[in-house]
A and B are shown apart, each in its own frame.
Chain A
């Protein structure tokens, strides 16, 4: 089947993007619309003594100026965490309440203080400069390690030691005995640095209020319209959900950052009713650096205990996860996921890991591509290479000795995941062949002859994908064409294509006759959005259930039209056939006839449609092997990726073209973290110092060579499609793989550790230190 499952089908959505007809939020303008611009805190930690907006209010073109006092006086609510550990049976933690406009205190540079609403963006910016804020500066702290020390300034008085909560996982009561009696212990302090998602489409929104119906509409750029509707209803506006509609059209990237409601969205929606006109806000890049919630920022003290043969006996790490000034949205998820995945792919008898949520005077951290899994895999794979070097055991052999074997699956980890399928050794070997592992010496010599030091690494990762339940709907139009109403939210993944492939294969509806409806809470009744590599597994499986319902209902309808019983009807390749006869109707005909004004008994319904849901209590576990080869210029510290190879087990592959491209993108983000990207706050001032594209080094095309990707599918048993998520694996694996390759290259000169990101400057400095 040309457009069926498993085919590299070209995307349905591309023509509009390629001709400039995509519809991102800044492409929407509403009649009578105003423009909003926000005032951001200049201080990391301060009391707001007063705000004088009088001059700004008198400036040309200004419609209104609002502060937190206005917002609070209207009875509007704060942004709270979507979930805390206590909501899932964990320990109680301090739950922050983040007012969209600060009321009396600011806790990080970039926190919103006031909004100017004016006729144009330029006039709003002119007026913004006229607001005067009287601050009383407080002491601040930006690093989690400093924040937990005695005497550190408290971000929230309710959270002693600046800790919201500490989570603990594993079976590790005996871990200290294991470590004390082990043949070898590898100990490391590992910091997983702070990043920003840097979506190409900056955040933006338009709030609109209809005073006739009392309904609010929020047009925005998000990964999760239903989640935002929920927060607007229950936390912000405190009005019934039926009076709120959230719509996204095309969304220009998310990576987790657009998974939650932001202050600007709350304010634009609220203010639209206040000023009686639509309120539009679009972030500049500088504002995005300040105000987008960020990702990662975990520091751990880790220890890996091994016996004389390199068998792992125990894993211990204690982490401090910098959650920033507030726990926003899914801010707890990276903490939870890093712990759950701590032993990754290794059969470790004793595991004891802890992770504390630590407040600092920095932007909140939330899930960013991987959300905790990159942290877990980075810790484990750095420990493995270090242990191999210290014990003089081959790095690949050490991994093979400790892998969870396919005959041990389903395998329950000591942190409570149950890995369903995977053949790690086989996938590793396939990757070695693809990467020409054995031909490395010749490449190393060639590099040396050109004056470069070559290094390589092989790492193995696992990911957990498929969180929450999902709902999908299939609805035939009266002309027999199909609309899929999707609860997940495509923002670059290619759902218009991949879900149409599935529907076309299962129902025999022509691929080109299928439309995807999504990201509009008035059109799609319920959904969870797209994040955490969940859409194909839970969305696809829910779509399968919807298709099954369509077929069941279609059988009853076809039986009626062909004057037989439903149990005599079979469905095959898009046709309802009467068993053992030549009689049949296509699904298109059944859909058309079932929509007629007369002739269909009421109990058969009107029109052909189906609804399906799916939830798996256990996620799926994509896994794979990455091999990276780097060249280092020892005299400048510059690092070049010369060869990058991936063999992934993502279970059954729906569209290899799209799946491979997800891996490409993830790998480059992972390499970006290893070599370039870093969100940095100045400890002394608390200012964001990586606040522009001149300071935050995003990977560019000339930083890379080709990425070679192949698959070694082991179907997942957690879902009817046998799929595993593919969105994040690249980013999970590429950071440790790149770092380990770089450290391999530098091992000959005596550098055995580097911080993330290993920029050319840091590499050069490390080389100078050891050679001094």
Chain B
């Protein structure tokens, strides 16, 4: 959880000045974050989502997860708790795992977003997705997109985590089906596969 908040509000490795200004809900009002449209309560936001540049008008209170799910119809990002505790809505914002239920769409203006839909290369799964399949790291599938995004965030930060480090990292992601056992195995294997891929 601490790590995710850090990543949201300026994490090591990210562009501190940019991410702090953009993500701090106090410092950055919707007016500053986006551009006011002629309809006074709508704000224009522009961002890159899964490699594609998009621009939309949104209400100031529109959360990023609603924006992705409803406005862009990217329904792979799920809502399970609305309170940043379960991790089902985890996406990557400027390369870092972020809970998209706790970010306003206008706060993500100008950012680079990757969702679960942006990982696979056509029919070829990302190594982390492939590992979840191989190790049966999912049952009902509802927490899975958030788990996979969170897992890739971990591996980007720590390419060879121990089991304990994986378990600690998943503190912010709840799964009710698997008992986590196979998720841990999947992430360990997915991490190895990602390393192999990076070496190529």
Q: For B125, what are the chain A residues with a Cβ–Cβ distance below 8 Å?
A: 15, 18-19
Q: How distant is A646 from chain B, measured CB to nearest CB, in Å?
A: 11
Given A15-B125, A661-B136, A200–B174 Cβ distance below 8 Å? yes
Find out whether the CB atom of A285 lies under 8 angstroms from the CB atom of B80: yes
Inter-chain contact B179/A667, CB cutoff 8 Å: yes
Within 8 Å by CB of B179, from A13, A27, A665, lies: A665
Interface size of B by Cβ–Cβ distance < 8 Å?
55
Contact B182 A664 (CB under 8 A): yes
Are the C-beta atoms of A661 and B141 separated by less than 8 Å? Answer: no
Binds B, one of A97-105, A344-352, A696-704: A696-704
Interface positions, chain B 43-100, Cβ under 8 Å from A, are 59, 61, 69-70, 74-83, 85-86, 88
Residues from chain B with a CB closer than 8 A to the CB of A14 are 132-133, 138, 141
Judge whether B174 and A702 touch: CB under 8 Å: no
For residue B87, give the distance in angstroms from its CB to the closest CB of chain A.
Answer: 10
B167 and A20 contacting across the interface, CB-CB below 8 Å: no
Chain A residues with CB under 8 A of B175? 200, 701
Complex Cα distance, B143 from A664, in Å, reads 16
**Which single member of B78, B133, B143, B168 contacts A702 (CB below 8 Å)?**
B168
Contact A657 B136 (CB under 8 A): yes
Closest to A200 in B: B142
Please tell me if the beta carbons of A492 and B80 are within 8 angstroms of each other in the complex. Answer: no
B75, B132, B168, B178: the one within 8 Å of A665 (CB): B178
Provide the residues of chain B in CB contact with A17, threshold 8 Å.
138, 141, 144-145
Shortest CB distance B158–A (Å): 15
* B144→A707 contact, CB < 8 A: no
Shortest Cβ distance from A661 into B: residue: B136
Whether A198 lies near B176 (C-beta < 8 A) is yes
Q: Is the CB of B181 within 8 A of A707?
A: yes
Do A494 and B140 contact each other (CB < 8 Å), given the known contacts A20-B145, A285-B81, A668-B180?
A: no
B169 to chain A, nearest CB (A): 8
- Whether A664 contacts B178 by the Cβ 8 Å rule is yes
CB-CB under 8 A for A494 and B139, given A692-B83, A702-B168, A702-B170: yes
B173 within 8 A of A: yes
Question: Secondary structure of the B side of the interface?
Answer: loop
Q: Contacts of A713 on B, CB cut-off 8 Å?
A: none
Asked, given contacts A252-B141, A661-B139, whether A20 binds B180 with beta carbons under 8 Å apart, the answer is: no
Contacts of B180 in A (CB 8 A): 664, 668, 699-701, 704
A255 and B171 within 8 A (CB): no
Determine the main DSSP class of A at the interface with B: loop
* A664 and B120 contact, CB distance less than 8 A: no
CB pair B142–A707 under 8 Å, yes or no, is no
| A21 & B76 in contact (Cβ 8 Å cutoff) | yes
Q: How far is the CA of A289 from the CA of B184 in the complex (A)?
A: 28
- By the criterion CB–CB under 8 Å, are B61 and A122 in contact? yes
Is A11 located at the chain interface by the 8 A CB criterion? yes
Q: How far is the CA of A26 from the CA of B143 in the complex (A)?
A: 14
- Contact A492:B174 (CB < 8 A) given known A19-B117, A24-B78: no
- Chain A interfacial residues counted at CB < 8 A: 57
Per-position binary interface string of chain A over residues 113-156, scored 1 when its CB falls under 8 Å from any chain B CB and 0 otherwise? 00000000010000000000000000000000000000000000
Instruction: Report B122-152 residues with CB < 8 Å from chain A CB.
Output: 125, 129, 132-134, 136, 138-145, 148
Q: Which residues on the B side are within 8 Å of A493 (C-beta)?
A: 139
A704, B182: Cα distance in complex, Å:
12
Asked whether A19 lies within 8 Å of B167 as measured between CB atoms, the reply is no
Q: Which residues of A contact B79 (CB under 8 A)?
A: 26
Q: Which residue of A lies closest to B118 (CB)?
A: A20
Contact B116 A20, beta carbon cutoff 8 Å: yes
Contacts of B7 in A (CB 8 A): none
Interface-centre pick from B116, B138, B167, B168 (highest chain A CB count, 10 A): B138
A252-B142, A701-B166 as given contacts; A693 in contact with B86, CB under 8 Å: yes
**B183 CB within 8 Å of chain A:** yes
Q: Is the CB of A253 within 8 A of B173?
A: no
Q: Is the CB of B181 within 8 A of A664?
A: yes
Q: Which of A1-38 contact B (CB under 8 A)?
A: 10-11, 13-24, 26-27, 29
Contact B119 A19 (CB under 8 A): yes
From 677 to 712 in chain A, residues with beta carbon under 8 angstroms from any chain B beta carbon are: 692-694, 698-702, 704, 706-707
Looking at B115, B139, B143, B164, the one whose CB has the most chain A CB atoms below 10 A away is B139
CB neighbours (8 Å) of B61 from chain A are 122
Q: A285-B80, A701-B167, A704-B167 are in contact. Are A20 and B117 (CB under 8 A)?
A: yes
Q: Is B27 in contact with chain A by the CB < 8 A criterion? A: no
Are the C-beta atoms of B76 and A20 separated by less than 8 Å? yes
- A250 on interface, CB distance cutoff 8 Å: yes
Query: Among the listed B77, B85, B140, which residue makes an inter-chain contact with A20, where contact means beta carbons less than 8 Å apart?
Result: B77
A661 touches B167 (CB 8 A): no
Q: Which of chain A's residues have a CB closer than 8 A to the CB of B164?
A: 702
B31 at the A interface (CB under 8 A): no
Cβ distance B92 to chain A, nearest Cβ, rounded Å: 13
| Contacting residues of chain A (702-733) with chain B, CB-CB under 8 angstroms | 702, 704, 706-707, 730
Interface residues of A in 660-677 (CB under 8 A from B): 661, 664-669
Residue of A nearest to B61 (CB): A122
A96 interface hit (Cβ, 8 Å): no
In the complex, are the beta carbons of A661 and B182 less than 8 A apart? yes
Contacts A18-B148, A700-B171: A200 and B140 contacting too (C-beta < 8 A)? yes
B136 near A658 with CB under 8 A, answer yes
With both beta carbons as reference points, the residue of chain A lying nearest to B128 in the complex is identified as A18
**Given A17-B138, A24-B142; A704-B179 close (CB under 8 Å):** yes
Chain A positions within 8 Å of B143 at CB level? 200
Instruction: Establish whether residues A199 and B176, one from each chain, have CB atoms under 8 Å apart when the complex forms.
Output: yes
Distance of A22 Cα from B140 Cα, bound (Å): 10
Q: Please, what's the 1-or-0 string for A315-342, where 1 marks a CB less than 8 Å from any CB in chain B?
A: 0000000000000000000000000000
Whether A256 is near chain B, meaning CB under 8 Å from some CB there, is no
* Cβ B115 vs Cβ A20 within 8 A: yes
Structural contact, A284 and B82, CB atoms closer than 8 A: yes
Shortest Cβ distance from A79 into chain B, in angstroms?
25
Residues of A within 8 A of B69 (CB): 26-27
A18 and B144 in contact, given A202-B80, A667-B179, A701-B183 (Cβ under 8 angstroms): yes
Question: Across the interface, which residues of A come within 8 angstroms of B139, CB to CB?
Answer: 253, 492-494, 661, 665
Decide: B177 and A253 in contact? CB cutoff 8 A: yes
Cα distance A15–B126 in the bound complex, in angstroms = 11
Given A285-B80, A661-B182, also A18-B171 (CB < 8 A): no
Cα(A201)–Cα(B79), bound, Å: 8
A639 part of interface (Cβ distance < 8 Å): no
Mask: chain A, 621-661; 1 = CB below 8 Å from B; 0 = not: 00000000000000000000000000000000000011001
A10–B177 CA distance with the chains assembled, in angstroms: 17
Write the nearest CB–CB distance from A81 to chain B, whole angstroms.
26
Closest to B119 in A: A19
Chain B neighbourhood of A11, CB < 8 A: 133, 136
Nearest Cβ on chain B to A512's Cβ, whole angstroms: 14
A702 CA to B166 CA, complexed, in Å: 8
Query: Is A251 part of the contact surface with B, judged by Cβ < 8 Å?
Result: yes
Determine whether A491 belongs to the interface, using a CB cutoff of 8 Å to chain B.
Answer: yes
Give the CA-CA distance A492 to B134 in the complex, in Å: 16
What residues on A are CB-neighbors of B78 within 8 Å? Answer: 24, 26, 200-201, 252
Closest A residue to B123 by beta carbon equals A15
Which residues of A have CB within 8 Å of B140?
199-201, 250-253, 491-492
The 4 closest A-B pairs by CB, nearest first: A20-B76, A252-B142, A17-B141, A492-B140
Residue pairs across A and B with Cβ atoms less than 8 A apart, 29 shown, are: A11-B133, A14-B132, A17-B145, A18-B132, A18-B145, A19-B76, A19-B119, A20-B76, A21-B117, A22-B76, A199-B142, A199-B176, A200-B176, A201-B78, A202-B80, A250-B141, A252-B80, A253-B177, A285-B80, A285-B85, A657-B136, A661-B178, A668-B181, A669-B179, A692-B83, A693-B81, A700-B170, A702-B168, A707-B181
Q: A17-B138, A693-B86 are in contact. List 17 more A-B contacts (CB 8 A).
A: A10-B133, A14-B133, A16-B141, A19-B116, A19-B129, A20-B77, A252-B140, A253-B140, A661-B177, A665-B176, A666-B179, A694-B85, A700-B174, A701-B166, A702-B170, A702-B171, A730-B179
